[in-house]
Amino acid sequence: MALKLLGRTGAVAGRDVPVADLLKIGASADSEFRIAVGGVSRNHAQLRAIKGRFVLFDLNSTGGTFVNGQRTSQTVLYPGDVISLAGVALIFGQDNPPPRPDLATTSPLNSDPGTSERPTATIEHNTVDLRTGKKREDNPDK
């Protein structure tokens, strides 16, 4: 499987990283994706290929691992996801990504015969005139 982790800043900017089954991410010299930036732990995270999907695991890092702004301990990644490791932003990409089961298919609303194509609602408001203290109907037709 091929993977793209595109860094936005510094030493990780624009790097594509090939992944077989496991990718170690961190500040350690033995990390396949090394990020030597303050706040990134030596062994910060792992990216594992599991059944055709990439799963990101936080390795109890100090700075935390976030995907699309949400802190995570593990999550399945999809193309376009923004990974943040202690403030270092990476964009996840994948050749031949699997389908997204979390996105439901949608279809147009089937209207009943005799109804308009775009359903509408009418809201009636009853208000009180503060000068006279009398109720006033905003919709006097009803």
Q: How confident is residue 44, by pLDDT bands cut at 50, 70 and 90?
A: very high
User: How deeply is 24 buried, as exposed, middle or buried, from its count of CB atoms within 10 A (0-12, 13-18, 19+)?
Assistant: middle
CATH topology of domain 3-94: Tumour Suppressor Smad4 (2.60.200)
User: How deeply is 12 buried, as exposed, middle or buried, from its count of CB atoms within 10 A (0-12, 13-18, 19+)?
Assistant: buried
Stated pTM of the model? 0.62
Rounded CA-CA distance 88/65 in Å is 10
Write down the mean pLDDT value for the chain.
75
* Percentage of the chain modeled with pLDDT above 70: 55
Comparing C-alpha atoms, which of 15, 12, 7, 16 is closest to residue 95? 16
pLDDT at 46: 94
Residues contacting residue 81 through CB under 8 Å, at least 6 positions apart: 67, 68, 91, 92
Two tokens, residue 51: 């059944």
φ, ψ of residue 135 to 5 degrees: the values are -70, 140
Residue 116 pLDDT more than 60?
no
User: How deeply is 54 buried, as exposed, middle or buried, from its count of CB atoms within 10 A (0-12, 13-18, 19+)?
Assistant: buried
Quick: pLDDT tens for 13-33.
Answer: 455 666 668 889 999 999 888
Cα Rg of the chain, angstroms:
26
**Most distant CA pair in the chain: distance in Å?**
81
In the chain, where the domains are located: 3-94
